[in-house]
Amino acid sequence: MDELLQRAPGEGIILAAHDTVIGGTAGLIRRLSEAGVSLPVVVTADGFTINDVVDAITDGAIDCLALPLEMNTLARRLQRVAAAAGPLVELRRRQIEARTRINQLSRREREVLECVAAGKANKLIARDLDISPRTV
């Protein structure tokens, strides 16, 4: 995992073994997101229960592949995953970028952002936070 995060590719698909994913699929995807990696994750295993598949998809995996697979089957599935992943990867990339930018804000800037996100007008935000509307 450390090597992947140090040399994260800009494109592709991450295949993760279900039984060796530390922290589960959710933990893997969280660590990737924290490192700015927005690639789709496909979980693999020798066999899945329905609960395993539901958990993996709920945690953010884009697909689950039961092993073993023939090479032609693997190639077809990965092509399908790559086609479906485009919009999801872009969404995840934008979420990671937004989270990074928000983390760079000061406490006061976050207070203003929270008020803006709540739909408050600049004058009301200024009054609530005791700052000028121009500062908002």
Domain spans in the chain, listed from the N-terminal domain onward:
2-104, 105-136
Model confidence pLDDT, tens digit, residues 21-66: 667 888 888 888 888 788 888 888 888 888 888 888 888 888 888 8
Instruction: Record the tokens describing residue 131, joined without a space.
Output: 């700052």
- Expressed in angstroms, the distance from the first to the final Cα of the chain is 42
Strand order across the beta sheet in which 14-17 lies = 14-17, 41-45, 63-66
17-33 burial by CB neighbour count: b if 16+ within 10 A, else e? ebeebeeebeebbebbb
Pairing label, strands 14-17, 63-66: unpaired
Name the pTM for this structure.
0.60
CATH entry, 2-104, from 3.40.50.2300, 3.40.50.980, 3.20.19.10, 2.30.110.10: 3.40.50.2300
Report the run of H or E that residue 102 belongs to, with start and end. Answer: helix 71-103
CA separation (Å) from 17 to 79, 81, 120? 19, 16, 47
- Residues of the chain with pLDDT > 90, as a percent, come to 21
Closest among 102, 5, 34 to 26, alpha carbons compared: 34
